[in-house]
Structure 1
Amino acid sequence: MDKYQFLLSSVAENFNLSMQTYQPGQALFNQGDFEPRLFWIKKGLVKLVFFQPDGKEFVKAFLSENDLSGSLMSVVFAQPSPYSCISMEASDVVAIPYEKIKLWVKDYPELRDVELAFMQQLTARKEDREYQFLCLTPEQRYLRFIEQYPQIFSRISQAELAKFLGITPVALSRIKSRNKLATLT
């Protein structure tokens, strides 16, 4: 168990936090809500999604086992979350009030490095996502997704992947066909 998982386990045990199962389609939190907790995904798959007023959705991220979900706008700045977190599979999740993590880290200063490492990792992932949208073609984003997230690729639908890549399912089908042909020749 790495230090990050140790911190989450310790907080969950110390504050007697229980695990809850979310069914596919069930929201862990909704866009526009203030949600002061972080969600440790012990098992399962969730998506972070922005909804436009017309119902169109854009997938920000997919998170799976041992990932942490939550809106920094809510937990750090006490603002409504700009996105929703929706379970895509039956997911076992521990909800951890961010205030409890701050208390635990205060009592054990050596764990501040773990919290800082998590924030740095989150920032780097966001920076990479921005780079992909600004500098890579949809085909390059598709290939990069397969490379970076092989454990998630087989667990999501083509429609969900297209929303993540910022393209239509038809465009994704064409990209997949071109790449199949390239591997056959």
Structure 2
Amino acid sequence: MDHFSALKQAIAAIAPLSAEEWNAFSEALTTRRFPKGEYLCREGQVEHYIYFLGKGATRHYFQREGREFTVDFHFEGEFVTAYYSFLTRKPSPVSATAIEDTEAILIPHQQLHEFYDRHHMGERIGRRIAEYQYIRRLEREMALLSLTAEERYAALVMRNPALVQQISVKHLSSYLGIQPESLSRIRKQFGKP
């Protein structure tokens, strides 16, 4: 399935669009490749896009006192953005970077809001994307407070087993809130040396 078909299917799951609405929505979309290590958005920049990942994976993180703190990973078929910045038009408190070669469809902020204004279903799409972002954030917070590191690792593996095995120990242990040595022990339990 090509990336636009995958996006159309993901949008249809949120709010079914007529052919006319899909054409209006998709007319301003572009695709872009992000080589591993390239930023989708840097901390301190204003986010101008929502990205739909057709291929690859990204990592959201922020830096404090010389340390990086990983807050999320996104995989193929998911929507990605520095959402706080996208909504507020203020500089992003996080960076989003490709952790492997990534291909994404870019949904521009201005065109998305114009679509909201012109089409009733547009508002529903915007609301559902906001709900999705809220739910992901709440699930992450609850997992950090209530699940063990092993349970958080298992949940991430369920989202994308192959890619999780390729994420660096440094980034993965930061995301799980544990030391790299503890991650090595957990990975052994899951069968990765």
Q: TM-score under structure 2 normalisation?
A: 0.80
From 79, 85, 90, the counterpart of 1:74: 85
From 51, 74, 87, the counterpart of 1:39: 51
Asked if 1:27 corresponds to 2:42, the answer is no
Cα pair 1:25 1:87 within 8 Å, conserved = yes
Cα gap change, 1:58 to 1:122, in 2 (>3 Å): same
**2-side partners of 1:10 and 1:161: how far apart?**
39
1:2-46 per-position Cα deviation (integer Å, ceiling 9, x unaligned): 424977x7566312x331211111111100111222222221111
Cα gap change, 1:53 to 1:10, in 2 (>3 Å): farther
Cα gap change, 1:158 to 1:70, in 2 (>3 Å): same
From 82, 87, 92, the counterpart of 2:103: 92
1:76-105 per-position Cα deviation (integer Å, ceiling 9, x unaligned): 111110100111111112332212111112
**1-side partners of 2:159 and 2:77: how far apart?**
16
Partner of 2:145: 134
SS at match of 2:88: coil
State the 1:179 CA deviation: 5.1
Unaligned runs of 5+ in 1: 181-185
Superposed CA RMSD in Å reads 2.4
- Report which stretch shifted further, 58-67 or 81-90: 58-67
Aligned runs of 1:1-185 on 2, under 5 Å?
1-2=9-10, 3=12, 4=14, 10=23, 13-15=26-28, 17-54=29-66, 56-150=67-161, 152-178=163-189
State the 1:148 CA deviation: 3.9
1:107-164 per-position Cα deviation (integer Å, ceiling 9, x unaligned): 2202322222221121111111001111122222222222344354234233322121
Cα pair 1:12 1:94 within 8 Å, conserved = no
Q: Which amino acid aligns with 2:57?
A: L
Unaligned runs of 5+ in 2: 1-8
Cα pair 2:82 2:96 within 8 Å, conserved = no
Cα gap change, 1:90 to 1:112, in 2 (>3 Å): same
- Report which stretch shifted further, 32-41 or 163-172: 32-41
What percent of counterpart residues are identical?
24
